[in-house]
Amino acid sequence: MKRNKKIFLLAAIVIIIIIIIIGAAVCCKFIFLTDRDTTEPEKVVLFIGGEPDFECREVVLEDCREECVDYNPEKGSLLFVNGENQIVERDISGEEHVIDIEAMDLTETVSNVQYGPDDTSICFVYENKIYQYSLEDREILYETDGMGSYWRRTYMWENDECGYKLIENERGNCELYRMDKREEAGQRVCEGWIESIGQVQGNKIYALDIYVGSPNSEFLNMRSRIVAVDISDGTKETIRELGSWEEETALFICDGEDMYYFQEKGKKGCLYRIDLKTGRRKKVYSTRNKVIGIEFGG
Residue 32 pLDDT class (50, 70, 90 cuts): very low
What are the Cα distances from residue 109, in Å, to 83, 143, 148, 166, 240? 12, 16, 7, 16, 32
The model carries a pTM of 0.80
Strands (E), 92-214: 96-99, 111-115, 121-126, 129-134, 139-145, 155-157, 162-168, 174-180, 193-201, 204-212
Residue 33 pLDDT class (50, 70, 90 cuts): very low
Let me know the angle formed at the C-alpha of 281 by 277 and 287, rounded to the nearest 5 degrees. 135
Average pLDDT, the chain: 83
- Say how many residues make up the chain: 298
- Provide the β-strand partners of residue 212: 222
Answer positive or negative: Cα dihedral of 156, 160, 163, 167: positive
| pLDDT greater than 60 at residue 113 | yes
Average pLDDT over residues 168-180: 89
Query: What percent of the chain lies above the pLDDT cut of 90?
Result: 44
